[in-house]
Structure 1
Amino acid sequence: MSRIPRLPALFFALVIGALAFVPYLVGPYGVTLMIGMLGYVTLASAWAMFSGPTRYVSLATVAFFGIGAYTVAVFSESLSYPLLLLVAAAIGLVVAIVVGLSTLRLAGVYFVIFTFGLAELVRQLVTWYEVNMTGTLGRYIFLPVTPEGIYWQLLALATVTFLLSFAIGRSRFGLALKVIGDDEVVARHCGIDIARLKLALFALSSVIITLVGAIQAPRWTYVEPSIAFNPTVSFLTLIMALLGGANRLYGPIFGAVPLFLLFEWLSANFPNHYSIILGLLFIAIVFVLPRGVLAFAEEHWSRWRRPAIKPAAGGAQ
C-alpha cells in the first residue's frame, strides 16, 4: 500500500487560518473565484470519500447539489438560515438513504448509468413541479448572507470534509472500504457488512454535497432547475477527483484547484468550445493519468531516487 503523506497539524491550522483571511486581501472578484474553487474542492473531496475506496463512479453529484440549492430557495422566506442548512442536510440524507438502498447493489457501468439518470430525473421532477404547481420556473433568494460569509462557510465545510476523509482513511472503517473496493466477494467472506458500510459512506458524502449546494445558493439570487441541476457539476467533480487521485488524501485538492482555474479561463475565452475541450480533457486524464497526478508523481519520484544497481566486483561481464 502506498504511503499517504501526513500534514502536520500545526501547518494545517496555519493554512486554514491564512485562507480565512483571504477575503480581506482580495477584491469582490477574488472572493467569488475562491468561493467557486472551495466549492469544487469540497465536492471533489466528498465524491472521493465514497467513490475513491469503493470504486463506485457516481454521477449523482449534481442531484444532491441541486437538492441543497433548491431547498434553500423554497424555504428561504419561512426558515432562518441555520435551520435552512439543517433542513437541506436532512433532505439530502433521506434521499441518499433511499437511493443507496435501491442502487448500491449495482456495480460497474450500471451504477454509473443509474446515478446519471437519477440526476436527470430529479431535475425533470423539479421542473415539472415548478411549471405545473407553482406556475413559474425558478425562485428568488433574498438572504442576508454576504459573499464573505459564503466563503467562510465553504472553508469550514471543506476543512471538516478533509478531516473526515483523514479519519476514515486511517480507521478500520476505511480499511474495510478498501477491501470492498478491491473485491466485494473477499470482503463478504471476511465478515464485512458491505451494504451497511457503503450506505453509510454514500449518505455522508451526499450530505456534504447537499450542503455545498445549500451554502452556495444565496450567491445566485435566482435559482431555476437548469442552474441548480447543471450536469456539468457532476462531470467537473469527477474529472477533478480523478486528476488528483481519488484514492489519495490530497488528490481532490490537487485536482480541483488547477482544473477550476483552467475551466474558468476556458469558459471565458472559448465559450463555444468549452464542452468539447472538457470532454477531450476527461479522455486524456483517463488514458494518461488513470491513477491521478499524485500517484504518477510518486511512481516517477521513486524511480528517480532508486539507486542504480552496480555489478559486483569480479562478476560476470
Structure 2
Amino acid sequence: MKSVLSLQVALFVVIVAALAFLPVFASPYGLTLMIGMLGYVTLATAWALFSGPTRYVSLATVAFFGIGAYTVAVFSESMAYPLLLLVSAAIGLLVASVVGFATLRLAGVYFVIFTFGLAELIRQLVTWYEVNMTGTLGRYIFLPVTPEGIYWQLLGLAAITFAISWGVGRSRIGLALKVIGDDEVVAAHCGINVARVKLALFAVSSTIITLVGAIQAPRWTYVEPVIAFNPTVSFLTLIMALLGGANRLTGPLLGAVPLFLLFEWLSANFPNHYSIILGLLFIAIVFILPRGVLAFAEENWKRWRRHEVKTVPGVAE
C-alpha cells in the first residue's frame, strides 16, 4: 500500500514538473490557451471538492471568481502583488463563511437558486458602487506579472487543489461528506456535525476559486463587473465537473480539458450560436452522463465483464 502511494506521489510530482516547463516551448497563443485551461481545471476541481460528495449544486463560482479579480483591480496600485493574493483569499474566505453559515441549511433547488442569485447580487452591488461612488464602471490593472508567471501560479494552485482533494477523499472528513451526500439525517444521527463539515469544505473550495480569479485578473488589463462576474464561468465549471465526474479525483480534469478546447473552438467558429450550443451540451450531459464519464465507463466495463462471464461455457451466472 505504501509503495503504491509513493508511486502515485512520485508520478504526480513528475507530471507537475513537466507541466512547469511547457511555457518555455509554447507560443504566445499556446501559453494563453494553457492558462485558460489550467484556470478551469482548478475551478472544476475546487467546485467538485465541495459539491461532488455533498451533491450541492453551486452556481456561485463566478461570485468568488469575480471577488478575487475585482479585489486585485481595486488594490493593485496600493499593495504588493503577494499581499494582493492574500487579501483576495481572506475576502473570499470571509464571504464564503458568512454565506455558507447563512445558506448551507438550504438544499436541492433552493440552494441552486440562491447561489445563482448570490452571483448576480454581488455583480449588481459592485456595479452600483462603481457608478455611484467612484464615477466609473471599470478599473485598469497594471501589474508586472507575465503570462508565464500567471501560468506557474495557476499550476501551483491546481497542484495544491488536487492535493487537498486527494487528502480530503482519504480522510474522515471525506467519509463524512459522502454520508452527508447520501442522507444528512443519517449523518447527523451518526454524530457528524453536518453544518461544520459543509461550511469548512465550502469555505476551502470558495477560497481556491477566489484565488483563481485573483491570479488571472492581470491578464485582462481592464476589469469591469460584466467581465469579472460573467455567469458563463459558473456554468462552464459545472458542466466540466459533471462531465468528468464530480465525485472522482480526476473527474474534473477529464471534463475540463476537452470541454475547454471544444468551447474555444466553438466560440471562435460559432460566436453567434455559442450560448445555444452550450445550453444543448449541458442538457445532453445531464441526461446522458449524469454521473460523469468515469462512472459511465466503469458501469459499462462491469456490464461487459458480466456478459463475458455469461458467454464462457460452463460458467454459472
Question: Could you tell me the TM-score, scaled by structure 1's length?
Answer: 0.96
Q: Write the letter of the residue equivalent to 2:46.
A: A
4+ aligned runs moved over 6 Å, structure 1 = none
Partner residue in 2 for 1:18: 18
Aligned to 1:111: 111
Structure-2 residue corresponding to 1:277: 277
**Quick one: which amino acid aligns to residue 208 of structure 1?**
I
1:32 equivalenced with 2:25 (yes/no): no
Q: Using the alignment, how far apart are the partners of 1:262 and 1:6 within structure 2? A: 35
Deviations 1:132-184 (A, max 9, x none): 00000000000000000000000000000000000000111100000000000
Q: In the TM superposition, what are the counterparts of 1:177-192 in structure 2 within 5 Å?
A: 177-192=177-192
Work out the CA distance in 1 between the residues paired with 2:143 and 2:199: 34
In structure 2, distance between residues paired with 1:196 and 1:221: 39
Query: RMSD across aligned C-alpha pairs, in angstroms?
Result: 1.5
Query: Residue 63 of structure 2 aligns to which amino acid in structure 1?
Result: A
Task: Flag the structure with higher helix content.
Answer: 2
Cα gap change, 1:98/1:304 in structure 2, threshold over 3 Å: closer, same or farther?
same
Shift in Å at residue 312 of structure 1?
4.2
- Where in structure 2 are the equivalents of 1:1-317 lying within 5 Å? 8-306=8-306, 307-309=308-310, 310=312, 312=314
Q: CA deviation at 1:200?
A: 0.3
More off after superposition, 257-266 vs 302-311: 302-311
For 1:311 and 1:190, locate their aligned partners in 2 and report how far apart those are by CA, in whole Å.
Answer: 47
Number of equivalences: 310
Q: Which amino acid aligns with 2:231?
A: P
CA shift for structure 1 position 27: 0.8
Q: CA deviation at 1:29?
A: 0.6
Please give the alpha-carbon distance, in whole angstroms, between the structure 1 residues aligned to 2:189 and 2:118.
31
SS in 1 for 2:57: coil
Offset, 1:305: 3.4
Matches of 1:226 and 1:185, distance apart in 2: 40
How far apart, in 1, do the equivalents of 2:305 and 2:18 lie? 33
**CA–CA distance in 1 between the matches of 2:272 and 2:44?**
26
Q: Once the 2 structures are TM-superposed, how far is the Cα of residue 311 of structure 1 from its aligned partner?
A: 5.7
Query: Closer, same or farther in 2 for the Cα pair 1:111/1:248, shift >3 Å?
Result: same
- How far 1:302 sits from its partner (Å)? 2.4
Letter in 2 for 1:308: V
Rounded Cα–Cα distance in structure 2 between residues aligned with 1:43 and 1:6: 27
Cα offset, 1:13, TM superposition? 1.2
One-letter code aligned to 2:81:
Y
> Secondary structure at 2:309's aligned position in 1?
coil
Distance 2:10 2:203 in 1: 31
1:79 is paired with a residue whose SS is coil
Shift of 1:297: 1.1
Superposition deviation, residue 308 in structure 1: 2.1
CA distance in structure 2 between the aligned counterparts of 1:197 and 1:61, rounded to whole angstroms? 19
5+ unaligned residues in a row in structure 1: which ranges? none
**Distance across 2 between alignment mates of 1:7 and 1:54:** 29
Kindly provide the amino acid, as one letter, of the partner of residue 94 in structure 2. V
State the Cα deviation string for residues 189-235 of structure 1 (Å, max 9, x = none): 00000000000000000000000000000010000000000000000
Partner-residue secondary structure (3-state), 1:8: helix
Q: Deviation of residue 240 (structure 1)?
A: 0.2
Say if 1:40 and 1:6 are closer, same or farther in 2 by CA, change over 3 A: farther
- Using the alignment, how far apart are the partners of 1:215 and 1:237 within structure 2? 17
Hey, what's the Cα distance between the residues in 1 that align with 2:33 and 2:290? Answer: 28
Q: CA deviation at 1:36?
A: 0.2
